[in-house]
Amino acid sequence: MTSMLTASIKKSLLLGTSRAGAQAQNDLPAALQDSVFADATKQADMPESDLWERIAALDLWTRAGAQTLAITSRATAIAADEKLQPCPQQAETKLSLLLQGTYPELRFEWLSLARQYGCHLPYKFLPAMLELGRTQPVFRPYVAAVMGERGKWLARQNPAWNWQADTELVEDELWETGTVEQRLEVLRLSRSKDPELGLTMLQEVWSTEPPEHRIRLIQCLKENLSVADQEFLERALDDKRKEVRTTAQTLLLSLPDSLLELRMRARLDTLLSIRPDITGDTELVVCLPLERDKAMQRDGVGSTTYHGTGEKAGWLLDMLAAVSPLYWSEKWQLSPVQLFALAAKTDYQQVLLTGWATALQTLSARPGMQDNTSPQFEGWCLEFSRLSMHTDSKHRAILSPFVHKILANVQSGFVYEFFMELLAPAQASSNFSVWTILELFQQVAAQKRRLPAALSIAIVAHVRNKLNELTAEFWSLKQVLNTLALVIDPAQLHDYERDWPRADPHWDKWQTTIDDFLALLRFRSEMMHTFLEQQ
Amino acid sequence: MTLSTDQILALAPDASSAKAGSALATASKWSNLGNSDIAVWGECQGSGSTPYRAQIDLREPAFKCSCPSRKFPCKHGLGLFLLYSGKAELFAATAAPQWNLDWLQSREARATKKQETAEEKLQNLTPEKLAQQAEQAQKREEKREAKVARGLQELQTWLEDLAREGFSSLRNAGTAQWDAIAARMVDAQMAPLAGRLSRAGRLAFQTSISDWEEQLAREIAAIYLLIRAYQKIESLTPDLQEDVRSMLGWNQSQDSLLAQAGQVDCWQVVAQKTRDDERVRTRITYLCGKSSGLWAMFLQYAVGTQGFDRPIAVGSEFEGELVFYPGAAPLRALIKDQRNVSVIKEYQFPATQFDAGMQSYARAIAANPFIERLPLSLSGLRLQLDGERGLAILPDQQALHLPENFAYGWQLQAVSGGQPMTLVGEWDGYCFTPLSVQTDRQFLSLESDCLL
C-alpha cells in the first residue's frame, strides 16, 4: 500500500524530531498548509506537536478524498455450474456444529452421507473443509467427493489446497526433495494409483536410502500389495536392519501362497504329523526343530521371544504363525474342532493354538477378506471364537486378543450371526461375563463399519439388561459406549431410548454415561434424517 | 416470531453453550412444552430434583430459566428456542402456566416502573433538593474535568516525548510503557483512551501488519488531535463537544437518552463484529432502517463468560424505536423499543456505489473528524486474493484494499463463486472490512455464519 506520509514526516517519525531536524513547511499539500499553520494558539517552536498535527491533518485529508486503485489484472474466472445438489439446510447446521467441535468424530459420517445423497458442501464451509484436507490427509477422499465444482474452483486458486488439483508435477518434485513425510505420502498415493510405478520408484532409490527411511518407505507397499512385489520383498529379507526384515516378512505373509509361506510349510511338514496312537485314535505328533539355520533366520524364525515358551518351541510357533491354518485342515482332512482336540493332547497345546491364532489373524487381515470368505475360513474363525469364549480363563486370556482382532477384521454376515449367538439370552447368562462381550464389541467398533440393525438393537439391549453386572468395569464403560455409538445403526434410535432402568436406585451412577451415549446416537440419527428432508 | 437455527445458535454466549443447547433441542428432554402469542415455555430435567423452567419472551427475544447457570442465555433457553424453531408442533397452545405469566408480568411491571421512577423522582424533589443535587453534580463534574485536564496534559507530554524519540527504538522498549500510560488514563477516568493506547502499543509487535509505523502514527495523531480539541472545547459546536466528550469517556446517561423520542422504523440487523480485549468483549452491531435508510450502531459489552445482555442476531429485523446518541454525525444508538422480531425476508439496506459512499464518508468526517470508521454497503464487488494483499474489485476495474489481516477472504470467494456480490462492512478511509455478504442465494454474517 502506498504511504500517505511524506518523506520528511517519515524521517521525523522514525528518527525522532530531536534528531531529524525541523520540518519543511512546504512539505504538505498546498490545500492543507493553511489549516495546519493558521492556528494562532500554536507554539511555533514545538516540532513534536507539529509532527502529530501534520500527520492528523494528512490523515483526515487522505481519508476525505480516498482514491481507489486502478487494476489491470483480469478477474478470476467464474465457478462452473454445480452438478451436485445443495445439501439441506438442517444438514448444513449439523455440519456447522461438527466443525465447531461438537462430535468432531462424526465428520466422516456427515461427508459420507452427503456423498450418498449426492450433495455438495455448503459454500461457506469450503475453506474450512479444504483446510481440513490439507492438515489431515485422511479426510481428502471424503472432502473431494463432495466439494463440487465450487470447491474445485476454489482449490485451484489457493496453492495450499492444491492437494485436490492435478498434482503430478508437484509429486515428482516432492519425491526428489521433500521431507520423509511428504515422500511417504507421494509413494502411498502412487501405490494407490499405479502399484507397479510405486514399486519402481521405491526400487530406484532403495540402495541409497538410509536405513531409517527404508523402514518407513517399505511399509507403503501395503497399499495394493500383490505377487508382483514378492521379488523385491524377498530381497528385503536380507536387509541389515531387523525392522526392514520384519516388515518384509509381514508383507510377504499377507500374500496368498507366498514363497515365504511355502518354505515354512516345507519345514513344518517334517515336524508335525498325524498318526494313530496305541488306542487306535488319531494323534498329533509334534517334534521341535533341533537347530536354526541361516535360511530359517532369514525367514524370521526366532526373531521373537515368547514369555514362558522354550527357545525351540518359540521357533515352532514362528513357523506355525506363517502358515495359514487352512493348510492343516486340508492336508489332514480334519476340522478345526478336531485339530483343537488333538492339540490339547500334545505337550504343545499353547504353542499350537497361539501359532494357528496368529496365522488366522494374518489371514483375516488380507485385503478383501471380509467380502470373500470361504466356508473353511469361516469355520476356523467361528470355531476359534467359540473356543476362546468357552475355554478356561488361562487359554481365554491368550486367545481372546487374537479372536477379537480376527472378528473385527472380518466383519461380514457369519461374524454378525456369531455375535447374535453370543447375545442370545441363553448364552448371555453363561460362563463369560458381559464385559468379555463388550470388550469384543469395542474392538469390532474400532473398525468403523456400521453394524446391522438387529445386532445394534441386541447390543444396546445387552448393555441395558446387564448394567448391574458392570459395576467393576464401570469406569471404562463410557469409553466402550463412545466407540460403539459410532457404529450402531442410528435408524433404530427408538429402540435404544426406551426401557432404561431409570427407577433403579443406582441409576444416578450410570445416568451421565448412558445419556451421553444416547445423545450421540440421537445426533447421528438426526444427522441422517436431515439428508432425507429433500428426498 | 421465530429465528433460524443459525441465528439462535449465534445468540449463544460461547461455543460450549451452543453445543449444550443443541443437545437439549430434543423433545425427550422436555415436558410441559407450550406457547402463546408472545412466549414459549417448557420444563427440562436437569441434574436437580425438580426440572428447570425455561421460558422465552418472543418479542425481544428475552430468556429466563430457573437453572443456576451464570451464562446468558443458558443452554436450556437455547435448547428450548431451537426446539421451538425446529418442531413448533410439539408446543401446545394451552393456557400459560402461572410461572410464565408471573415472569411476563414482572417484565412489564419493571419496564413501567423504570419509567415511573424516573418521573417520580423528578416530581418528588423539592426545589431545594433539586438545587442541592445540581450543586453536587456540578462539583463532581468539575472534579472530573480537572482530572481529565491533568491526564490529558500528561498524555500530551508523553506523546511529544514519543515524537522526540521516534519510532526506531519502539520495538526494543516493549509494551510496558504503553500499558503504564494507559493505566494513567484509567485513573483519569478516560477508559476509551486507555484502550486505544494499549492497543496502539501492540501494533508495533503485530508481525502480520507491514505498515505498522504508519498505522501507529495515524492513531497517535488522532489521539493528539483529540487532546488539542478538548483544550479548546468551548470553541466547538455543541454536537462536536458531545463527540469529544464521549471519546474521552463521558457517558451519556442511558435513562435520559431513552426518555427522548427516537427514530421509529423497521430495523434490519445486517452486520456484527465482536472484539475480545482480554476479559471484556465488545460487540458492534450495525442496523439499517427499512424506510429511513438510516444506519445505526449498537454497542454492547460483556465481561468474562457472560453473554451480551440483549441477544441480537444478524439476519433478523424488528419494529421499534432507536435513540441516537447526540453528535455531529450521529451513528451510535440505543434500542428503546423492540417488537416483532423476525427473520428478514427481504433485505433493504442502501447498497451504494463507491463514489456516493465516499461522499457521505467525507461529509461525516468533515462534521466529526474523530470518526474512525463508518458502515458501508457496496454492491457489484468481486474479490481478488492472489496478490500480496486481498482486493475488493469495484464494477469499473477499480479496487479497494481489504485489511491486511482480513480472515474471511476465502469464505467470501467461496460463497460468491466469482460472481459480483454485495458486501456490508466498515470503511476507514483506507480499506474496506467486509462483515456480511449478500449473494443471489443468501445473506451471511461472516463472524457468525462462516468458520475460520
Report pLDDT digits (tens) over B297-316.
999 998 877 778 888 899 99
Alpha-carbon gap, residue B44 to B27, rounded angstroms: 10
Residues 159-188 of B with CB under 8 A from A: 159-161, 163-168
Q: What's the length of chain A?
A: 535
pTM of the model: 0.79
Band (pLDDT 50/70/90 cuts) for residue A301 is very high
pLDDT of B342 above 70: yes
**Nearest by Cα to A356 from A272, A255, A245:** A272
pLDDT of A428 above 70: no
CB atoms within 10 A of CB A5: 21
Band (pLDDT 50/70/90 cuts) for residue A535 is low
Contact, A75 vs B393, CB < 8 A? yes
| Alpha-carbon gap: A39 to the closest alpha carbon of chain B (Å) | 11
Phi, psi of A365 (to 5 degrees): -85, -5
Contact, A356 vs A342, CB < 8 A? no
Contact B5 A93 (CB under 8 A): yes
Query: In the prediction, which pLDDT does A25 show?
Result: 59
Q: Comparing A15-29, A231-245, A360-374, which segment has the lowest mean pLDDT?
A: A15-29
B249-258 contact pairs (CB < 8 A, 24+): B249/B148, B249/B189, B249/B190, B249/B191, B249/B192, B249/B193, B252/B325, B252/B326, B254/B334, B255/B114, B255/B118, B257/B323, B257/B325, B257/B334, B258/B323, B258/B334, B258/B336
Side by side, the strands of the sheet bearing B443-445 are: A69-70, B398-401, B391-393, B374-384, B421-427, B432-438, B443-445
Residues 134-163 of B with CB under 8 A from A: 156, 159-161, 163
- A150 neighbourhood in chain B, CB within 8 Å: 414, 417
Alpha-carbon gap, residue B239 to A458, rounded angstroms: 75
Q: Are strands A119-120 and A85-86 parallel, antiparallel or unpaired?
A: parallel
Q: Comparing A125-134, A259-268, A471-480, B195-204, which segment has the lowest mean pLDDT?
A: A471-480
Q: What string of DSSP letters covers B386-442?
A: SSSS-EEEPTTSEEEEPPTT-S-HHHHHHHHTTS-EEEEEEE-SSBEEEEEEE-SS-
Q: What's the length of chain B?
A: 452
Q: Which residue has the higher pLDDT, A256 or B47?
A: A256
| Alpha-carbon gap: B270 to the closest alpha carbon of chain A (Å) | 18
Contact, A164 vs A155, CB < 8 A? yes
pLDDT of A261 above 80: yes
Summarize the confidence of residues B66-94 as an average pLDDT.
87
Alpha-carbon gap, residue A57 to A68, rounded angstroms: 20
**Nearest by Cα to A455 from A426, A414, A514:** A414
pLDDT of A43 above 60: no
Residue with cell 481372546: A400
Band (pLDDT 50/70/90 cuts) for residue A223 is confident
pLDDT of A473 above 70: no
Query: In the prediction, which pLDDT does A164 show?
Result: 59
B23 touches A at CB < 8 Å: yes
Please tell me whether the interface predicted TM-score (ipTM) of this complex is above 0.90: no
Q: What is the four-CA torsion angle of B384, B389, B395, B398, rounded to 10 degrees?
A: -140
Summarize the confidence of residues B355-376 as an average pLDDT.
92
The pLDDT mean for chain B works out to 89
Rounded to 5°, angle at Cα A184 from A182 and A189: 95
Alpha-carbon gap, residue B373 to B395, rounded angstroms: 23
C-alpha cell at A476: 471404562
Residues 6+ apart with CB under 8 A from B182: B193, B194, B195, B197, B198, B201
- A46 neighbourhood in chain B, CB within 8 Å: 160
Alpha-carbon gap, residue B143 to B430, rounded angstroms: 39
C-alpha cell at B154: 500528561
Q: Are strands B316-324 and B295-303 parallel, antiparallel or unpaired?
A: unpaired
- Give the residue from chain B lying closest to A152, CA to CA: B414
Alpha-carbon gap, residue A233 to A300, rounded angstroms: 13
Band (pLDDT 50/70/90 cuts) for residue A398 is confident
pLDDT of A162 above 80: no
Residues 6+ apart with CB under 8 A from A499: A464
Summarize the confidence of residues A386-394 as an average pLDDT.
81
Contact, B59 vs B338, CB < 8 A? yes
Alpha-carbon gap, residue B182 to B194, rounded angstroms: 4
- A526 neighbourhood in chain B, CB within 8 Å: 26
Query: In the prediction, which pLDDT does A534 show?
Result: 61
Contact, B76 vs B98, CB < 8 A? no
Alpha-carbon gap, residue B343 to B35, rounded angstroms: 19
Rounded to 5°, angle at Cα A361 from A358 and A364: 155
What kind and span of H or E run contains A207?
none
Query: In the prediction, which pLDDT does B206 show?
Result: 80
pLDDT of B375 above 90: yes
Contact A123 B415 (CB under 8 A): yes
Of A157-161, A524-528, A530-534, the range with the highest mean pLDDT is: A524-528
- B414 neighbourhood in chain A, CB within 8 Å: 123-124, 126-127, 150, 154
Query: In the prediction, which pLDDT does B196 show?
Result: 93
Band (pLDDT 50/70/90 cuts) for residue A169 is low
Q: Comparing A267-271, B85-89, B243-247, which segment has the lowest mean pLDDT?
A: B85-89
Contact, A491 vs A453, CB < 8 A? yes
pLDDT of A167 above 60: no
**Nearest by Cα to B148 from B284, B248, B260, B49:** B248
| Alpha-carbon gap: B116 to the closest alpha carbon of chain A (Å) | 45
What kind and span of H or E run contains B234?
none
Residue with cell 487306535: A280
pLDDT of A146 above 60: yes
Contact, B322 vs B329, CB < 8 A? no
A127 touches B at CB < 8 Å: yes
Summarize the confidence of residues A163-181 as an average pLDDT.
70
Summarize the confidence of residues B82-104 as an average pLDDT.
88
| Alpha-carbon gap: A471 to the closest alpha carbon of chain B (Å) | 22
Q: Give the whole-number percent of chain B exceeding pLDDT 90.
A: 55
A19 touches B at CB < 8 Å: yes
Q: Is the peptide bond before B61 cis (omega within 30 degrees of 0)?
A: yes
A534 touches B at CB < 8 Å: no
Alpha-carbon gap, residue B185 to B191, rounded angstroms: 6
The closest CB to that of B451, out of A4, A73, A125, belongs to A125
What kind and span of H or E run contains B298?
strand B295-303
- A68 neighbourhood in chain B, CB within 8 Å: 354, 394, 398-400
Query: In the prediction, which pLDDT does A426 show?
Result: 59
Of A153-162, A199-208, A403-412, the range with the highest mean pLDDT is: A199-208
Residues 6+ apart with CB under 8 A from A372: none
Query: In the prediction, which pLDDT does B406 show?
Result: 92
Contact A1 B26 (CB under 8 A): no
The closest CB to that of A68, out of B161, B399, B414, belongs to B399
C-alpha cell at A246: 520384519
Band (pLDDT 50/70/90 cuts) for residue A236 is very high
Q: Give the whole-number percent of chain B exceeding pLDDT 70.
A: 99
CB atoms within 10 A of CB A57: 20
CB atoms within 10 A of CB A223: 16
What is the crossing angle of helices A180-193 and A168-177, to 10°? 140
Alpha-carbon gap, residue A405 to A322, rounded angstroms: 17
Q: Which residue has the higher pLDDT, A409 or B410?
A: B410
Contact B166 A14 (CB under 8 A): yes
Band (pLDDT 50/70/90 cuts) for residue A22 is low
The closest CB to that of A78, out of B415, B417, B451, belongs to B417
DSSP lists the bridge partners of residue B34 as B41, B92
pLDDT of A39 above 70: no
Query: In the prediction, which pLDDT does A389 show?
Result: 79
Contact B414 A52 (CB under 8 A): no
The closest CB to that of A71, out of B9, B213, B391, belongs to B391
Summarize the confidence of residues B192-216 as an average pLDDT.
88
Residue-wise pLDDT for A262-281, tens only, equals 999 999 999 999 988 788 78
The closest CB to that of B417, out of A19, A89, A153, belongs to A153
Q: What is the four-CA torsion angle of B63, B69, B72, B73, rounded to 10 degrees?
A: -40
CB atoms within 10 A of CB A281: 10
Alpha-carbon gap, residue A22 to A17, rounded angstroms: 7
The closest CB to that of A70, out of B224, B398, B428, belongs to B398
Beta strands in B116-191 (DSSP E): none
Query: In the prediction, which pLDDT does A179 show?
Result: 81
Residues 6+ apart with CB under 8 A from B408: B434, B446, B450, B452
Of A288-302, A464-478, B349-363, the range with the highest mean pLDDT is: A288-302
Summarize the confidence of residues B57-82 as an average pLDDT.
88
| Alpha-carbon gap: A446 to the closest alpha carbon of chain B (Å) | 25
A196, A200, A234, A243, A327 from A227: Cα distances, Å: 11, 14, 11, 21, 19
- A63 neighbourhood in chain B, CB within 8 Å: 361-362, 365, 428-430
